[in-house]
Amino acid sequence: MKFKVISRGDKRSNNLKARMKQHLIDFDLVYDREEPDLVISIGGDGTFLEAFHRYHHRLNETAFIGIHTGHLGFYADYVPDELEKLVIEIAKTPYQVVEYPLLEVIIRSKTGNKTDTFLALNEATIKTPESSVVFDVEIKGERFETFRGDGLCISTPSGSTAYNKALGGGIIHPSIEAIQLTEMASINNRVFRTIGSPLILPKHHTCLLKPIVDRSFFITIDHITHNYTNVKSIQCRVAKEKIRFARFRPFPFWNRVRDSFISDIN
Ligand code: NAP
Ligand code: MN
């Protein structure tokens, strides 16, 4: 089996990376940066997002696992003390794989036929540095509302505990193939009206945002910000692709939610 280890870059994560790498090589596993079967991320959820985006072109072949060297993460959910046990599990057992849904974002330009497609593990957000965004929001080909406000966030179930949560969105179990649309400070008065509540869309229900007022947009895909002008539409739906996690022990999603946000003492 071929593997790759990605570190956040701090001393502790780098040390763990070196230990992990050596242990796995001792077990006859092969270090391969280009085509790993398993990517081990050491750091935080942010490190895991970077690992995901580095290998998002080979999601069918690569499984991911995260070790946290700071606080408990949603993706980085193993502790460094588990390293030795983890190495033996990786080397010896065919591991169980758990799949989570992703978000597909297609940005179409007004000029030419330029189209950019992205996959997000957490979410996409659309904001502008120029006052507010104004979009027509279409769901499944039908006009739903005209949104005016700071922006919109479209998140995956596993991203629902990140930015989405800060915007008052619901926490969605990742076994549910859905995306969630949350508002950032919508303007609501006699002229402009939006639904206000987060919307949860199932698979195949495409959401299309069509800018009415031409702006320059900041479109974030997880931790990466892209700058766009001349945007014709932004299309969001549940992606065909999924992320695959290598699971060596159960750590149910709701336990991760509890341990991250409520308390880590029973
Ligand atoms: P960051 O500024 O370090 O991220 C903000 C926090 O979100 C960090 O504590 C990060 O954990 C945590 N996080 C990331 N994914 C999560 C998930 N799925 N569930 C719960 N918490 C999660 O930047 P970053 O590490 O590069 O992460 C980018 C993410 O930050 C974006 O995808 C977005 O979700 C989030 N964000 C949140 C807000 C907000 O809550 N107001 C604003 C902007 C961005 P680690 O410390 O382990 O990295
Ligand atoms: Mn971070």
Distance CA 17, CA 6 (A): 7
Query: Where is average pLDDT lowest: 91-100, 176-185, 219-228?
Result: 91-100
Q: What pLDDT does 238 receive? A: 98
Q: What is the distance in A from the centroid of ligand 2 to the CA of 226?
A: 18
95, two tokens: 């591991």
- 45 noted as active-site residue: yes
Q: Are residues 45 and 112 in the same domain?
A: no
Q: Are residues 233 and 133 in the same domain?
A: yes
Residues 6+ apart with CB under 8 A from 250: none
Q: What value does the mean pLDDT take over residues 156-185?
A: 98
Q: Are residues 140 and 196 in the same domain?
A: yes
Q: How many domains does the chain have?
A: 2
Q: Are residues 130 and 191 in the same domain?
A: yes
Distance CA 135, CA 149 (A): 9
Is residue 155 a contact partner of residue 184, using CB atoms and an 8 Å limit? no
119, two tokens: 């996959």
Q: Are residues 23 and 79 in the same domain?
A: yes
Q: What pLDDT does 117 receive? A: 98
Q: What is the distance in A from the centroid of ligand 1 to the CA of 43?
A: 13
User: Which one is predicted more confidently, 88 or 238?
Assistant: 238
Any residues with Cβ below 6 Å from ligand 1, and which? 44-46, 49, 70, 73-74, 122-123, 158-159, 161-163, 166, 222-223
92, two tokens: 């010896």
Distance CA 200, CA 142 (A): 16
Q: What value does the mean pLDDT take over residues 225-253?
A: 96
Band (pLDDT 50/70/90 cuts) for residue 264 is: low
Q: What pLDDT does 93 receive? A: 77
What angle do the packed helices 83-92 and 11-26 form, to 10 degrees?
30
Give the CATH number for residue 156. 2.60.200.30
Q: Are residues 112 and 215 in the same domain?
A: yes
Q: Are residues 202 and 219 in the same domain?
A: yes
pLDDT at 234 > cutoff 90: yes
Which of these is catalytic: 32, 45, 77, 116? 45
Q: Give the ligand at the shortest distance from the Cα of 67.
A: 1
Give the CATH number for residue 68. 3.40.50.10330
Q: Are residues 233 and 256 in the same domain?
A: no
Each residue's pLDDT tens digit, 206-230: 999 999 998 999 999 999 999 999 9
Each residue's pLDDT tens digit, 104-127: 999 999 988 899 999 999 999 999
Q: Whose CA is nearest to atom 27 of ligand 1?
A: 46
Q: Are residues 53 and 144 in the same domain?
A: no
Q: What pLDDT does 84 receive? A: 85
Each residue's pLDDT tens digit, 126-151: 999 999 999 999 999 999 999 999 99
Q: Are strands 224-228 and 217-221 parallel, antiparallel or unpaired?
A: antiparallel
- φ/ψ bin of 43: left (φ > 0), alpha (ψ from -120 to 50), beta (otherwise): left
* Segments forming the whole domain that contains residue 73: 2-95+248-262
Q: What is the distance in A from the centroid of ligand 2 to the CA of 28?
A: 32
Q: Are residues 224 and 256 in the same domain?
A: no
pLDDT at 85 > cutoff 80: yes
Each residue's pLDDT tens digit, 9-67: 999 999 999 999 999 999 999 999 999 999 999 999 999 999 999 999 999 999 999 99
Distance CA 99, CA 105 (A): 19
Q: Are residues 114 and 45 in the same domain?
A: no
145, two tokens: 């509302």
Q: Are residues 60 and 148 in the same domain?
A: no
pLDDT at 77 > cutoff 80: yes
Distance CA 115, CA 118 (A): 10
Give the residue numbers of the binding site for NAD(+). 45-46, 122-123, 148, 150, 185
